[in-house]
Structure 1
């Protein structure tokens, strides 16, 4: 099949950097392929994408060598306009690419630039919005939409241009699990029905593998480390070797002493099955279904659930808290919730469930219409944002809403300076926070040169350095590779052991499973469930009502006919914690 994108001995070095970010890239992407580009933060994934869509060299300067061909033509001779007609890009943060005052205006933007006739433009916009299920929102402002709806509008915008190549840069970073699954289905439908070439850059391994992927390109330190089908790379254990996590059900098999080489269809928990015996044609499976079920049952009952440490006194208490942006329409309704010293609570729910509004009430950005918010037993409804900030740290979902300094080190120091922390301690806290969040090598870099994941870690480091009593993290793992995610989550786990409390607002079910003492689930502004995370994520009624998605561990356990999917999930959590403590 004809290659639509070809890299030949291609290298790129950003201006003012001594080492190249991309090194000797050899890659061909065929027309109509669906490619997943994976790898740790800083591996060169986004730089490769910027070379394809033209942001390099038109927005980011530097020195390149080798060849990049688009449809067999040298891309270096193409203008950014020519690139944009061939390649549609959907960014991590859709807010950054909205230009119209309404959804319809935004989708029509490029058609207007091309001076398309009004009737042609109207038909194209309507068709694109219908394809992504957003036709009813044509007159609405794009910034009024949920995260999932914004992604759908951004996709409609590139579909209206008829670009042959669709490039998605972390499309799932801000989506709840159910919306993420819907986005992957939509991308897959467009790929299959319209023959588009699709390139995905994404850290959420299990979500990407929900739909068919032709090939995975694994990058590491600016080079291509591996290329293969998903099953080939999963069976070989390639992903964890380069900072990505295997799907949880595959890790559970390993914990149970079952090697992955004994199974096929590794990409999907419901269809995974034992390999056939190769000693005879069409031989029986190495393990029968009943043998596999018995092995998994024996393992899950033999692992003792991880015990919860002793928790301190109530630190934060919400008592019947309600809030409305407009009279009669509560965004938060009668919420009662307690977070104790040393406790980690995951706040789960779909986009628009009220999680971020609740964090705004806790930090003082909003004033409750009714109810009380207490800190160590004292009602703080009347406290200023500044006073609350001395004890409650808040890391926003989007790092660009928080980062204000030019240099990485200065971003950590500015809060310490404002608090009057003495210079020697200021320097110590700055270096500690940078080390914890994996940013010490970049301490003298400009903030603008960091990737999205690195900027997210910088925003967390800046608050960690202030040592609050309670820390609210809004999507702390968005855009993070597994190695960095594990490093700073293990540090946060140690801080909770010293008495700091954490409230995670997250769509990352893995984070909730492994690091939260319990979860509170929100739907339509209300807390509809509080329990251990494993039990919540194995309860189809709760996950369906809250627009969550059952963890792959529970789906795998159910597909294998295990008696208690939640017990299987709890066994996995206990096994993981044992490995981390070793």
Structure 2
């Protein structure tokens, strides 16, 4: 065994005023130089565990009762939170080019990391980056070789797949060079598996329920029962009844193998019926030769032609700056095109009918927090109802019945008058979905529907969105980087690049085509890699059947 960094001995912690412990009977030693991944659903105890690592429990900020002991062998710790990182970069750096923000010491390993992370965005200013990229630059700017321990809280939360891949690359290179102790808490297991992980910890209900290697964790097939999304290729083998203990290199899909694995998977795919979709050809909204640019600069959208049908559910993908958000704002009538025409049910949208059309479209942006205006879910609905009424929307006169119906549909029966400040990120997003349904829209446009949510809340939210689409016939457009979600829930995918739609095709094709994956800043689906690796005859049908089957299992 190596030298210990931290030791927990029968450690439990109960917050002041709480009835039950947040952490219970933790026995654990993390050694110096280890790279550890911590998994667990929301409420599993991950946040409290990180506070314990940072010596924050039992302090004035986090009062409570400590039982057992925790021993720190090194206090030289740096901690980063992916969603809410302190602003390490000064305000006057916001308009600088990124190359000017990079560390200036040529020998500093931080500069090597910075160069790797900047390769997709070095010509943009800091303000032009996405929230996730800004978080990433702040973290990298503050990493210095003299620290011995680094703790990352959901560092991939706001990052697109390519940026997340760069981060995982950089973190692993940094770990190998410095032999620092690194602890990462993250929901996105598949992307963290891209590089080596020494050890995985899984928390449930404040208890440590798994402590071991990634391979052992996947062989045990326990993640689905812990509300943690397991790699899709592992789920596929589990559905097919393939014995996971016979799988070689289960944590490395590029090298995976097993006796008769191909035969078992093909037999299973043949046994699954193809899912039948009802397709509408009735036009809902159409763009003709639409262009838009900001401040007379380069086109954000260029000569777009696009038709969306009633009841469609489609995804839009592309790198940051590709034009996805601008397209959403044009479709939702938040912006007017500089050039071209927009039609609603075949009628051109003009100043005379724009508000009427706008009342039938709901747009949920990525940064939805400014839309949280109530103190409770019921009050939030009240505020939206009043705003929609003022805008001239046609609303149900039986307000109380409508509120009860919408809150019940999202599982909020017991939370009607619960303070919003205590709701999770995923619950707030779910509530906003209920709010926009007040006006009975014909089209919902949503940015990054699964961002910042654990597996359970993601399944719940996407289930609600899917039912709305299937049962009410409301068209849904999702801007997303989540490969699994676009495969499971959409049958059409638009790929955007530099303000143009460069592909309008099936999501399975998008996530399997190397060129489109690269241009959309995505990552190839692990199912696609798995299917190619084991030599399946028809990877497309296998992936489509699996995603449909898995979605129905999740929603059952």
Q: 2:419 is matched with which residue?
A: 446
Distance 1:167 1:389 in 2: 45
Q: 1:352 is matched with which residue?
A: 321
The CA deviation at 1:16 is: 6.2
- Could you give the per-residue CA deviations for residues 305-341 of structure 1, whole angstroms, max 9, x where no partner exists? 3222132622222222211113240112222222222
- Could you give the per-residue CA deviations for residues 168-225 of structure 1, whole angstroms, max 9, x where no partner exists? 2222222222222222111111122111222222212211211111222212223323
- Could you give the per-residue CA deviations for residues 233-287 of structure 1, whole angstroms, max 9, x where no partner exists? 111111101111221111222333322122122112111122xxxxxxxxxxxx2
TM-score, normalization: structure 1?
A: 0.83
Q: 1:8 to 1:344 in 2, by over 3 A?
A: same
Distance 1:365 1:573 in 2: 34
Q: CA RMSD in A?
A: 3.4
Structure 2 counterpart of 1:311, from 277, 280, 288:
280
Unpaired runs of 5+ residues, structure 1, are 74-82, 108-120, 275-286
Q: Are the aligned partners of 2:145 and 2:178 in contact in 1 as well (CA < 8 Å)? A: no
The CA deviation at 1:33 is: 1.5
Q: Are the aligned partners of 1:129 and 1:153 in contact in 2 as well (CA < 8 Å)? A: no
- Residue correspondence of structure 1 range 407-426 to structure 2 within 5 A: 407-420=376-389, 425-426=398-399
Q: 1:272 to 1:426 in 2, by over 3 A?
A: farther
SS at match of 1:132: helix
TM-score, normalization: structure 2?
A: 0.87
Structure 2 counterpart of 1:540, from 507, 514, 520:
514
Q: Are positions 1:265 and 2:249 aligned together?
A: yes
The CA deviation at 1:552 is: 0.6
Aligned length, in residue pairs: 544
Q: 1:336 to 1:127 in 2, by over 3 A?
A: same
Q: Are positions 1:86 and 2:86 aligned together?
A: no
Stretch of structure 1 that moved more, 476-485 or 16-25: 16-25
Q: Are the aligned partners of 1:98 and 1:106 in contact in 2 as well (CA < 8 Å)? A: no
- Residue correspondence of structure 1 range 58-457 to structure 2 within 5 A: 60-66=61-67, 69=70, 71-72=72-73, 86-93=77-84, 99-102=90-93, 123=105, 128-133=110-115, 142-147=126-131, 149-160=133-144, 162-274=146-258, 287=259, 291-311=260-280, 313-380=282-349, 382=351, 389-420=358-389, 425-438=398-411, 442-457=415-430
The CA deviation at 1:59 is: 8.8
SS at match of 1:5: strand
Q: Are the aligned partners of 2:77 and 2:151 in contact in 1 as well (CA < 8 Å)? A: no
Q: Are the aligned partners of 1:104 and 1:125 in contact in 2 as well (CA < 8 Å)? A: no
SS at match of 1:326: coil
Q: 2:501 is matched with which residue?
A: 527
Stretch of structure 1 that moved more, 190-199 or 422-431: 422-431
Distance 2:432 2:358 in 1: 15
Q: Are positions 1:554 and 2:536 aligned together?
A: no
Q: Are the aligned partners of 2:344 and 2:357 in contact in 1 as well (CA < 8 Å)? A: no
The CA deviation at 1:409 is: 4.2
SS at match of 1:570: helix
- Could you give the per-residue CA deviations for residues 433-479 of structure 1, whole angstroms, max 9, x where no partner exists? 44544555555443333443444334434334543221111111112
Distance 2:379 2:22 in 1: 24
Distance 1:139 1:569 in 2: 37
